[in-house]
Amino acid sequence: MDSVLSLTPLLQAGEPVTRPTFWRIGSVGEVLFYYLAAVTILVFLYGVYDRFARYARGTEDPFDRLDDLPGRVLQAAKTVTTNEKQFDRDLYGGIMHAFILWGFLTLLIGTTILGIDMDIYRNLTAWFTGERQSFFVGDFYLSYSLVMDSLGFLFVVGVGMALYRRYVTRNERLWGKHTSSEDALFVWTLFLLGVGGYLTEGLRILGTGYPDFETVSFVGWFVADVFGFVGVSQSGAAALYPIAWWSHAVLALGFIAWIPYAKPFHMISSFANLVTRDEKAGNRLPGVPADLAPDEIGFTGIEDLSWKQLLDHDACTKCGRCSAVCPAKASGRPLDPRDVVLDLKAYRESVDAGGEQTPIVADGGGVIDAATMESCMSCMACMDACPVDIEHVPQFTEMNRRLTETGAMDEGVQDVMMDVFMKGNSFGEPQRKRSNWADDLDFDIPDARDEAVEYLWYVGDYPSFDERNKRIARSVAKILEAADVSYGILYDDEKTDGNDVRRVGEEGLFEELADHHADVLADCEFEKIVCTDPHSFNTFKHEYPVLNGLEWPAEEGDVYHYTQVVNDLASDLPLSGTELDYTVTYHDPCHLGRMNNEYDAPRDLVRETGCDLFEMPRNRADSFCCGGGGGGLWIDQDEDTKPSEERLREALEDTDAGERVEKFVVACPMCMTMYEDGRKTGNYEDELEIVGVSELLAEAIDAAGREPEGATAGVEVDTDAGGEGATADD
Ligand code: SF4
Ligand code: SF4
């Protein structure tokens, strides 16, 4: 495939295997080309400088995103070249993008190699040896031509696939509020560049009389044949060649100059975004600087956005992967994560151009509406799906902080926040009732404030106060007793963990809760923390340890979800692995799976009971949120279908079980509440039961205890955990 520089004069017999440059372009044309190329490079460099200068005017980012820069660049290069993110959930998109990317990079590298030969190597050899030499000859030239033609062909195929998907099958994901002419211009320009290169090459091969060695340029050879077939003669091809060459050259130079000013800039910005990614983005949110006045908290204006957030917006390719996996959008809520990113970008561009300023987020009249932010469940599916690592959730939290400060937060959430503030729990119950869930047990739960324990168990609000979830707390206690481990709880010194408090924007209250727990734990003697709720687990593990000024007495590695601890203790449990024979499916909670990469421990435990475990299509990192996170559990949403109902339908209709699953297994108390609700409102009560992993295990331990040879660990485990009775005390 011809690049704009690989231009061949008529070859004479006996001349080396190569193609001399600027065939039929002439010396004036050559000078003009270099002039245009220089202007192009200046326009390109200015555009790139302007973009990055704009980022530099953003606020500082609280995290170190440039440590181990070589390692970061290598990792980003691996992510880009393997196309791993594009293949995720979309084989067609992965192949398409890989063809375009690899083809484009090959053509870019090939053109650069030719430029080095022409403008550097030949001049240097002339300077030092007196003879102008080229390495663009012989085997090198033949290999070069073969590689360029092959990868260039993949490039054209890839762009063709993109056109087909955009304009023929009209993939819904690619069309949205911000679809514009630049999207069409981008993809059609790539197509014309690819096809134009082959047309130019075909004319050259025909015009130069089919040099034998040019068979390596097999696509160009084929195009030359087509020209010949439609009646173009050798002299006609030679005459047409300069027209084709200049068209191709001007288009290529125009494209390069355009890159920093429109969608093609994502080729640069997305790489920069990958290099500066925060691998814990969303797991731990940035804090609020202590010296900020209330009217400065959150996104008040575009000047509050950090350089990374501005880069995020420019890196967006409009691919729509985030929107396609967003449970809020799927439920008909007024949230489309791509639109939020691009709305913010469009607003910034308009302000930079002198446009009117409005509040970034408000209950009416803002760039982003309050209802949009209230719709987010902080499930992180958008961030997981984004191929360029855009960090949606931290930005959404900044907007929630603004809504909180302006009193525009949803009333239901405000009430819960008041309960947490006044009572220390999201149920508004007296704290002395916090441990009432344990009253029915026939053993005492040790008090970790009074005795040294191995596992300090943070029970959490829902297992402490919600009737259905109290069964989860009791079953976890029974398992810990059965495994004979040293553990204890904080009784009424335990308060709301604050994970969702933080995500709805109440940073001050979150900090108070973190301070409280740090103080209480500082007086306890323990080795590890174990949490019932993945939300607590996430915040204890990732957020408390890095909170400014907090002396948190535990390390990240000391914090576990109960399924992890119990899985490690599984060999100490009196189970044979055949106690239960239910057909079940398991739902990965966002905060345990996608956010903390724990998929196997709960599955191992379910299998440990003897149940047959089958997967829903959306499992592990692709799991579909129950709708409860990010304050979703506290808001009455106006939606077409609840995410929980949609998920239960998936469990009943789409698992690979071949029969109806009987139990829908959860590992998160909030999921339990959401799915019990979805089971009722979706009319699934007669079809499916919701059970916790711990309930299944407790039932299995109890079943083992009833077998003559089954030895329990000296603990009688009651059977209220499983079977239809599991929801009896709802
Ligand atoms: S975090 Fe979840 S609910 Fe919120 S925008 Fe992303 S995908 Fe949608
Ligand atoms: S934010 Fe990421 S996933 Fe969403 S449209 Fe932009 S690039 Fe695609």
Return the best residue to mutate from 380, 499, 637 for the ligand 1 pocket (most ligand atoms within 8 A of CB): 380
393 lines ligand 1 (CB under 6 A): yes
In this prediction, residue 706 carries a pLDDT of 77
Average pLDDT, the chain: 93
Segment among 169-183, 426-440, 708-722 with least mean pLDDT: 708-722
Cα–Cα dist 370/408, whole Å: 7
Cα–Cα dist 514/530, whole Å: 16
626 lines ligand 1 (CB under 6 A): no
Return the best residue to mutate from 265, 329, 390 for the ligand 2 pocket (most ligand atoms within 8 A of CB): 390
Residue of the CA atom closest to atom 3 of ligand 2: 386
Residue of the CA atom closest to atom 6 of ligand 1: 382
pLDDT beyond 60 at 34: yes
- Tell me if 204 sits within 8 A of 22, measured CB to CB: no
Class of the domain covering 26-60+69-274: mainly alpha
Beta bridge partners of 59: 306
Ligand nearest to the Cα of 622, by number: 1
Q: Identify the burial level of 361 via C-beta atoms within 10 angstroms of its C-beta, where 0-12 means exposed, 13-18 middle and 19 or more buried.
A: buried
Listed in sequence order, the DSSP H helices in 59-180 are 69-82, 84-87, 91-116, 122-129, 138-163
Q: What is the mean pLDDT of residues 715-728?
A: 38
DSSP assignment of 259-313, as one string?
A: GGGSGGGHHHHHHHHHHT--TTBTTB-----TT--GGGSS--SGGGSBHHHHHHH
Return the best residue to mutate from 344, 379, 384 for the ligand 1 pocket (most ligand atoms within 8 A of CB): 379
pLDDT band at 729 (very low <50, low <70, confident <90, very high): very low
Cα–Cα dist 219/216, whole Å: 9
In this prediction, residue 4 carries a pLDDT of 47
pLDDT beyond 70 at 69: yes
| Ligand 1 atom having least distance to the Cα of 322 | 7
326 lines ligand 1 (CB under 6 A): yes
Cα–Cα dist 174/433, whole Å: 52
| Ligand 1 atom having least distance to the Cα of 385 | 7
616 lines ligand 2 (CB under 6 A): no
Site of tokens 């960090």? 391
Residue of the CA atom closest to atom 8 of ligand 1: 326
CA of residue 402 relative to chain centroid, distance: 24
In this prediction, residue 726 carries a pLDDT of 31
Residue of the CA atom closest to atom 6 of ligand 2: 316
Cα–Cα dist 75/225, whole Å: 44
Q: Identify the burial level of 555 via C-beta atoms within 10 angstroms of its C-beta, where 0-12 means exposed, 13-18 middle and 19 or more buried.
A: exposed
345 lines ligand 2 (CB under 6 A): no
Residue of the CA atom closest to atom 7 of ligand 2: 316
pLDDT band at 722 (very low <50, low <70, confident <90, very high): very low
- Tell me if 588 sits within 8 A of 552, measured CB to CB: no
pLDDT beyond 90 at 705: no
378 lines ligand 1 (CB under 6 A): yes
Sequence letter at residue 649 = R
525-573 pLDDT per residue, tens = 999 999 999 999 999 999 999 998 899 999 999 999 999 999 999 888 8
Length of the chain, in residues: 730
610-634 pLDDT per residue, tens = 999 999 999 999 999 999 999 999 9
pLDDT beyond 90 at 426: yes
pLDDT beyond 90 at 709: no
| Ligand 1 atom having least distance to the Cα of 381 | 7
645-684 pLDDT per residue, tens = 999 999 999 998 878 899 999 999 999 999 999 999 999 9
C-alpha 296 to ligand 2 mean position (Å)? 28
Return the best residue to mutate from 319, 323, 336 for the ligand 2 pocket (most ligand atoms within 8 A of CB): 319
Alpha-carbon separation of residue 60 from 70, 132, 201, 310 (angstroms): 22, 52, 50, 11
DSSP E strands in 366-409: the ranges are 368-369
Q: What is the mean pLDDT of residues 298-302?
A: 95
Sequence letter at residue 10 = L
CATH 1.20.1740 assigned to domain 286-409? The reply is: no
pTM more than 0.85? yes
Residue of the CA atom closest to atom 2 of ligand 1: 379
Is 26-60+69-274's fold the same as 286-409's? no
216-259 pLDDT per residue, tens = 999 999 999 999 999 999 999 999 999 999 999 999 999 999 99
pLDDT beyond 70 at 708: no
pLDDT band at 718 (very low <50, low <70, confident <90, very high): very low
Q: What is the mean pLDDT of residues 257-270?
A: 97
Ligand nearest to the Cα of 637, by number: 1
93 lines ligand 2 (CB under 6 A): no
Residue of the CA atom closest to atom 7 of ligand 1: 326
In this prediction, residue 1 carries a pLDDT of 61
In this prediction, residue 21 carries a pLDDT of 81
pLDDT beyond 60 at 414: yes
pLDDT beyond 80 at 719: no
In this prediction, residue 638 carries a pLDDT of 83
pLDDT band at 16 (very low <50, low <70, confident <90, very high): confident
φ, ψ dihedrals at 361, nearest 5°: -140, 135
Question: 138, 147, 198, 208: which is closest to 2 by C-alpha?
Answer: 198
- Tell me if 461 sits within 8 A of 435, measured CB to CB: no
C-alpha atoms less than 13 angstroms from C-alpha of 167 in its C-beta half-sphere:
10
> Which residues, 6+ apart, have CB-to-CB distance to 592 below 8 Å?
534, 537, 561, 563, 598, 602, 667, 668
368 lines ligand 1 (CB under 6 A): no
C-alpha 319 to ligand 2 mean position (Å)? 5
| Ligand 1 atom having least distance to the Cα of 282 | 1
- Tell me if 219 sits within 8 A of 157, measured CB to CB: no
pLDDT beyond 50 at 714: no
616 Rama sector, left if φ>0, alpha if ψ -120 to 50, beta otherwise: beta
Pairing of strands 453-458, 526-531: parallel
Ligand nearest to the Cα of 336, by number: 1
Helical packing angle, 562-569 and 467-482, nearest 10°: 30
Sequence letter at residue 671 = C
Tokens encoding 386: 């984004």
- What are the sequence ranges of the domains in the chain? 26-60+69-274, 286-409, 415-727
In this prediction, residue 572 carries a pLDDT of 87
pLDDT beyond 50 at 7: no
Cα–Cα dist 563/480, whole Å: 11
633 lines ligand 2 (CB under 6 A): no
In this prediction, residue 723 carries a pLDDT of 36
| Ligand 1 atom having least distance to the Cα of 325 | 7
Site of tokens 């900044």? 398
Question: 14, 16, 37: which is closest to 25 by C-alpha?
Answer: 37
Cα–Cα dist 689/665, whole Å: 8
